[in-house]
Amino acid sequence: MKRVVIVEDEELVRRGIVMTVDWQSVDCAVVGEAADGAEGLEVIRREKPELVVTDIKMPRMDGIELLRQLRAEGNPAAVILLTAYSDFSYAQAAVKLGAVDYLLKPFHDGELEEAVRRLAGPEGAGETGEAPAGAKSRYVMEAMRYVSEHYAEPDMSIAQVAESLGLSEGHLSHVFKRETGRTLGSYITEYRIGRARELLKDCRSKVYEVAELVGYRDITYFSATFKRVAGVTPSEVQGKGKGKS
């Protein structure tokens, strides 16, 4: 049974990963948890897990630096990185350091378990510098990069992403779904909503302005999509932001 350590600064998210993921179904057991990378490094050194699931953006030490430290120490643990919205530069750094997967939060039921199942194969990058088994392929990484650069364009489509990569829409869609467990269309939607959620934390931004900034012309459609993906309304996210100010 693989030993797992969870590193996540949001307590509710961390407890959710510990308690609701079906670890037994993937032959794993959580042996430790931490609220930031620095604390996580100590827990990992003590517990010696085979798998680390860590958020990227955290106080004190982020997930990329945690992964860098582990590799510098010669720690071969498989690492799955989590982030609220995709960032290609983070993804590149993660793969170069030997991360085995990269999941966009909020991930859906079964996605983390599926990522663990994809761990079969050598862990860590080989001498050739190739990405480890389970890591996203170049086409998927490039598709993510395209989305991160063009998400604000209302007319961005799967066809445009595929054309930018010189692939057919069908082939890219198949590869993306196979490697990420989600459709490219849902990834684009979740990326936009993730960006919107970050923008809405600035309570000076109006909902319709944020909608336009992430590629939505129709405020009603944006609000309905936001509620479906995020589980809360744009106004509720703004209200929480005002409460912290």
Give residue 40's region: left, alpha or beta (phi > 0; psi -120 to 50): alpha
String of DSSP letters for 82-142? EESS--HHHHHHHHHTT--EEEESSPPTTHHHHHHHTT-S--S--TT-PPPTTSPPHHHHH
* Omega before residue 106 within 30° of 0, cis: yes
Q: Which residue has the higher pLDDT, 98 or 67?
A: 67
What the block records as the tokens of 46 is: 């003590």
Q: What pTM, to 2 d.p., does this model score?
A: 0.65
Show the CA angle centred on residue 59, arms to residues 53 and 63, nearest 5°. Answer: 30
Query: Helices 234-244 and 219-230, interaxial angle, to 10°?
Result: 70
Tell me what pLDDT residue 126 has.
34
pLDDT at residue 86 is higher than 90: no
- At residue 127, the pLDDT reads 34
Task: Kindly report the number of other CB atoms within 10 A of residue 6's CB atom.
Answer: 25
**pLDDT for 178-233, tens place per residue?**
888 789 999 999 889 988 988 888 778 899 999 999 999 999 999 999 999 888 99
Report the alpha-carbon angle 49-50-52, nearest 5.
Answer: 70
For 168-184, what is each residue's pLDDT tens digit?
999 999 988 888 878 99
Do 207 and 218 contact (CB within 8 A), yes or no?
no
- pLDDT tens, residue by residue, 103-162: 877 777 788 898 888 776 644 333 333 445 455 677 888 898 899 889 999 999 999 999
Instruction: Count CB atoms within 10 A of the CB of residue 209.
Output: 12
Residue 168, phi then psi, degrees to nearest 5: -75, 150
Confidence of residue 32 (pLDDT cuts 50, 70, 90): very high
Residue 195 exposed, middle or buried by CB count within 10 Å (0-12, 13-18, 19+): buried
Task: Reply yes or no on whether the pLDDT at 245 is more than 60.
Answer: no
- 29 pLDDT higher than 90: yes
